[in-house]
């Protein structure tokens, strides 16, 4: 068998590619299109993975160990081929095989569409997790939706964001196996009745609609591991090709339309990030994923261990990635009671030993709540179960916190005619965790304080991480080789090993080599910017990068105002000492988030102004990169000198982009927020540019202190000038309305609280810290020493470490020994 999948040598890989081209496409290498070559390579790698997947399944059946189901509405996988190659064989040999065939390897890899089934941090975290789980030989499945359209593609037209559908499946998807024999029925709508059957109360479902959940499995390789795990992505399919009743009535359009509506469920990913929209279709999606997954889990369990479900929690752990799949909790209650005949207490006892929940945000507007009027007609049985969970919770609460009505209301699952999804998770999960130290503190002391006080042992702080294979080894191969040449390659599996780089911070040759690699990466990015955006940037300038979703709390506006400030300084004194900078932004805005779109417009207007003013003599350039995505990040991050992590303190739960830049040796300018706090602790304050209000200071401002804003506005002349330029002057001419709105929100706020994100308060501190950045960039020995120290201190941020902590504290899975 092994001979079919032998990819051990350059010549066997070459033979394999030729074979695939011939047998799949009837093409010789010299006649094949780039897309066909990509697919031949992918199919070759896929053979190897499917073989291992079957081996893994066999092994897991024998082992009968515990298995993790990681349910997430998003898996932002990006591209797979290069990653699978580096996991399964030697990248150099693979590239060599292609070159032997006169084929450009990079162009081949570039043929692959990103799997953009996620918005940002939360979705990419899930993707890094499944990589680390597999690398660590842990039995796990990622469960999600097979969206036909991933996150929209972004174009920038006349400075504005334009959204284009992301039809990622257009050319077919090599990385999936459809499993029709494992399809599952999901039921929506209708009504429920309690009826007595043989002296027992039973729930009868009437008039519900059935939708098929069709599984597609997407194999996942690990670095140097034998195991191949998979993502199971559910696709919605109508039960009938058409509604025959309607068809026979002669209503042909209606007959087909029904099918279309059913299949809408897996049509498109909702593009909101930290800003949910309470839409019926989104609720359907969440239930569809939850129900299909839980039905499948119970079915699999019964097949492996028999009909008695008492021991389920010993064999199954279900992790829910934020509240989006939280309906899995009442859905499991429903299945255990209505379908498996368990009583409430037995069902609840199983459920509360099975689920664990991670929170990813503290912003109140981002916490999911579903209005009853929307929920109840769609999910009548789940609604009645949630009412029951709530009632029992309230009884418990009146014992724990007698008479405290306010607390009860705050902790209730149902209040103000809404279902609070976080409270379902808090009531039912055996473990709850935050994604950084600071974030978990805020959960425990503030937003989930009432729950945390009652059962502190359920709460965990587990700082996020990233996979070093993709984010350094693959994205920055020259730096990876340099590191390996000095400390060996064990850091790829054991991230702590990176600390052995520390002495090289004082090694002039090492620093120089890193600087040279950075320059090469910057040149590649500069060429991309020239080609794609027609902007010429100074290859020696500081590449200052802010790449992340667009959100007010992430404060792209603070960055933009700083650029406008520098522009004003240079206009005043064109000969002042100035270290040239290229400001690079990349960010998608949720299509319905008007303010975020205005901010994109503002950034581009400032770019237009500074890029074209001859008095600036190219000392400042601003580039807004279109369509930020995983594959763009892989090119962008290794080219960054400075990483902008400047969220309002207390708002960014963790951040993971911050870790990717640090790992690649960029220096960070940032606030004490999310994982930045831990980055500063690890690398030392002298090697990171921390500025601005801390989270506790921000909270004081929210409680009082809005006069401060007026005071700063009238006393800081530079800030005053910049703010006025938003509404009067060169920018305002470009888009009066948009910039007035931003101006208003800064100075007066939306609900009477001026400067809600502390942009005005933090402006001066930011400007001063940026000046220090420029001064230190002028001292290469100092700068590159810090750069090396950043990489050397980044070991903690490996998702392998994160997964090990989840496993130790929450999951208790056993690594497979082969």
Q: Which residues bind ligand 26Q (CB under 6 A)?
A: 119-122, 125, 270, 272-274, 276-277, 282, 324, 360-361, 366, 368, 435, 464, 652-656, 674
Our CB check for ligand 26Q shows the closer of 522 and 588 to be 588
Q: How far is the CB of 116 from ligand 26Q (least distance, A)?
A: 13
Check: CB of residue 298 under 8 Å from CB of residue 341. no
Q: Which is nearer to ligand 26Q, 123 or 215 (CB)?
A: 123
Q: Which of 515, 510, 545, 525 is nearest to 475 (CA)?
A: 525
Measured from the CB of residue 282, what is the shortest distance to ligand 26Q in angstroms?
5
Helix axes 556-572, 717-727, angle to 10 degrees: 110
Nearer to ligand 26Q by Cβ, of 46 and 660: the residue is 660
Closest distance to ligand 26Q from the beta carbon of 279 (Å): 7
Residue in 323, 358, 656, 668 annotated catalytic: 656
Q: How far is CA 612 from CA 557, 567, 606, in A?
A: 21, 12, 10
On whether the CB atoms of residues 152 and 591 are closer than 8 A, the answer is: yes
Which residue out of 258, 548, 588, 621 is catalytically annotated? 548
Is the Cβ–Cβ distance between 123 and 74 less than 8 Å?
Answer: yes
Task: Classify 548 as helix, strand or coil.
Answer: coil
Q: Are 436 and 672 in contact (CB under 8 A)?
A: no
Closest separation in Å from C-beta 653 to ligand 26Q:
4
- Among residues 14, 460, 551, 660, the one annotated as catalytic is 660
816 is catalytic: no
Say if CB 202 and CB 196 are below 8 A apart. Answer: yes
The sign of the torsion formed by the CA atoms of 744, 750, 751, 754 equals negative
Please give the full DSSP string across 147-192, using - where no structure is assigned. Answer: -SBEEEEEEEETTEEEEEEE-TTTT--SS-EE-GGG-EEEEESSEE
Contact residues for 409 (Cβ-Cβ < 8 A; gap 6+): 415
Query: Please, which residue, 368 or 741, has the CB nearer to ligand 26Q?
Result: 368
Quick one: 382 or 435, whose CB is closer to ligand 26Q?
435
DSSP lists the bridge partners of residue 236 as: 213
In the complex with ligand 26Q, the residue whose CB is nearer, 674 or 795, is 674
Q: What is the DSSP string of 128-151?
A: HHHHHHHHTT--EEEEEE--SBEE
**DSSP assignment, residue 96?**
H
- Distance, in Å, from the CA atom of 546 to the CA atom of 123, rounded to the nearest integer, reads 19
Q: Measured between alpha carbons, how far is 529 from 313 in angstroms, rounded to an integer?
A: 52
Rounded Cα gap, residues 260 and 728, in angstroms: 50
The CB-of-122 to ligand 26Q minimum distance in angstroms stands at 3
Q: Which of 67, 334, 518, 554 is catalytic?
A: 554
Which of residues 243 and 652 has its CB atom nearest to ligand 26Q in the complex?
A: 652
Q: Which tokens is 194 given?
A: 């309690």
Reply yes or no on whether 153 is catalytic.
no
Residue 66, C-beta contacts closer than 8 angstroms, at least 6 positions apart: 139, 314, 315, 316, 317, 811, 812, 813, 814
Grouping H, G, I as helix, E, B as strand and the rest as coil, residue 461 is strand
- Residue 259 designated active-site: no
Q: Which is nearer to ligand 26Q, 117 or 426 (CB)?
A: 117
Least Cα distance to 324 among 252, 254, 403, 421 occurs for 421
Which of these, 734, 757, 773, 766, lies nearest to 565 by C-alpha position?
766
Residue 655 gets the label, from left (phi > 0), alpha (psi -120 to 50) or beta, of left
- The verdict on whether 354 is a catalytic residue reads no
Is 481 tagged catalytic? no
Q: Which of 124, 470, 549, 621 is catalytic?
A: 549
Q: For the CB of residue 812, give the shortest distance to ligand 26Q in the complex, in Å.
A: 22
- Selected catalytic residue, list 258, 319, 360, 474: 360
Whole-angstrom distance, CA of residue 314 vs CA of residue 814: 12
Instruction: State yes or no: is 160 an active-site residue.
Output: no
Of the pair 71, 397, the CB lying nearest ligand 26Q is at: 71
Residue closer to ligand 26Q (CB basis): 361 or 440: 361
Helices 707-715, 717-727: axis angle to 10 degrees equals 100
Which residues are catalytic, by number?
A: 360, 548-549, 554, 656, 660
């Amino acid at each position: 068998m092994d001979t079919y999948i032998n990819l051990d040598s350059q010549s066997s890989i070459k033979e394999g590619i030729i074979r695939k081209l011939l047998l799949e496409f009837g093409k010789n290498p010299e006649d094949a299109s780039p897309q066909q070559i990509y697919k031949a390579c992918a199919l070759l790698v896929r053979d190897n993975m499917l073989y291992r997947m079957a081996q893994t399944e066999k092994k897991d059946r024998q082992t009968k160990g515990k298995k993790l189901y990681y349910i997430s509405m998003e898996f932002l996988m990006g591209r797979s081929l290069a990653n699978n190659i580096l996991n399964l064989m030697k990248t150099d040999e693979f590239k060599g095989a292609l070159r032997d065939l006169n084929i450009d390897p990079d162009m081949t890899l570039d043929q692959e569409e990103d799997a953009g089934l996620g918005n940002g941090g939360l979705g990419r975290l899930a993707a890094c997790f499944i990589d680390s789980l597999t690398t660590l030989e842990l039995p796990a499945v990622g469960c999600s939706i097979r969206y036909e359209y991933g996150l929209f593609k972004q174009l920038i037209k006349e400075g504005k964001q334009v959204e284009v559908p992301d039809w990622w499946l257009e050319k077919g998807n090599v990385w999936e196996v459809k499993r029709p024999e494992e399809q599952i029925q999901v039921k929506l709508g209708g009504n429920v009745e309690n009826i007595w059957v043989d002296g027992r109360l039973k729930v009868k479902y009437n008039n519900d609609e059935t939708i098929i959940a069709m599984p597609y499995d997407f194999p996942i390789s690990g670095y140097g591991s034998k195991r191949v795990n998979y993502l199971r992505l559910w696709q919605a399919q109508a039960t009938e090709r058409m509604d025959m009743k309607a068809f026979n009535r002669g209503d042909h359009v209606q007959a087909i339309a029904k099918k279309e509506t059913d299949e809408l469920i897996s049509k498109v990913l909702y593009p909101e990030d930290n800003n949910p929209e309470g839409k019926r279709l989104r609720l359907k999606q969440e239930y569809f994923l939850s129900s299909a997954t839980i039905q499948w889990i119970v079915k699999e369990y019964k097949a492996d261990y028999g009909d008695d479900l008492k021991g389920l929690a010993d064999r199954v752990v279900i992790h829910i990635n934020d509240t989006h799949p939280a309906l899995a909790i009442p859905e499991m209650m429903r299945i255990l009671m209505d379908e498996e005949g368990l009583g409430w207490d037995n069902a609840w006892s199983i459920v509360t030993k099975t689920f664990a929940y991670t929170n990813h945000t503290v912003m109140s507007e981002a916490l999911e709540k579903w209005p009853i009027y929307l929920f109840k007609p769609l999910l009548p049985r789940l609604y009645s179960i949630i009412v029951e969970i709530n009632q029992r919770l309230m009884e418990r609460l009146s014992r724990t916190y007698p008479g405290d009505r306010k607390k009860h209301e705050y902790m209730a699952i149902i209040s103000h005619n809404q279902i609070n999804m976080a409270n379902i998770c808090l009531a039912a999960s055996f473990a709850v965790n935050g994604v950084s130290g600071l974030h978990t503190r805020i959960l425990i002391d503030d937003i989930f304080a009432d729950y945390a006080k009652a059962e502190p042992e359920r709460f965990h702080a587990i700082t996020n991480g990233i996979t070093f294979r993709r984010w350094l080894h693959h994205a920055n191969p020259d730096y990876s080789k340099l590191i390996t040449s000095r400390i060996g390659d064990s850091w790829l599996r054991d991230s702590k090993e990176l600390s052995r780089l520390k002495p090289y911070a004082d090694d002039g040759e090492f620093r120089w080599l890193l600087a040279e690699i950075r320059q090469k990466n910057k040149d590649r990015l500069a060429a991309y910017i020239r080609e794609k955006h027609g902007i010429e940037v100074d290859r020696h300038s500081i590449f200052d990068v802010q790449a992340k979703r667009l959100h007010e709390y992430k404060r792209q506006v603070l960055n933009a105002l700083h650029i406008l400030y520098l522009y004003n300084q240079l206009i005043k004194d064109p000969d002042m000492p100035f270290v040239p900078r290229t400001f690079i932004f990349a960010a998608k805005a949720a299509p319905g988030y008007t303010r975020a779109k205005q901010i994109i417009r503002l950034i581009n207007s400032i770019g237009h102004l500074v890029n074209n003013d001859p008095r600036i003599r190219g000392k400042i350039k601003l580039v807004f990169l279109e369509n930020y995505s995983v594959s763009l990040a892989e090119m962008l991050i290794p080219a960054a000198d400075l990483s902008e992590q400047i969220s309002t303190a207390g708002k960014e739960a963790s951040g993971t982009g911050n870790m990717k830049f640090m790992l690649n040796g960029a220096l960070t300018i940032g606030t004490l927020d999310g994982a930045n706090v831990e980055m500063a602790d690890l690398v030392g304050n002298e090697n990171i540019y921390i500025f601005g209000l801390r989270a506790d200071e921000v909270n004081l401002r929210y409680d009082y202190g809005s006069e401060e804003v007026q005071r700063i506005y009238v006393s800081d002349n530079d800030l005053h000038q910049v703010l006025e330029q938003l509404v009067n002057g060169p920018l305002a001419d470009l888009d009066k309305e948009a910039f007035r709105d931003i101006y208003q929100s800064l100075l007066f706020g939306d609900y009477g609280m001026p400067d809600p994100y502390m942009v005005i308060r933090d402006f001066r501190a930011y400007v001063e810290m940026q000046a220090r950045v420029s001064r230190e960039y002028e001292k290469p020995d100092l700068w590159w020493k810090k750069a090396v120290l950043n990489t050397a201190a980044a070991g903690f941020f490996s998702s392998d470490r994160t997964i090990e902590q989840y496993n130790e504290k929450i999951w208790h899975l056993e690594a497979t020994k082969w």
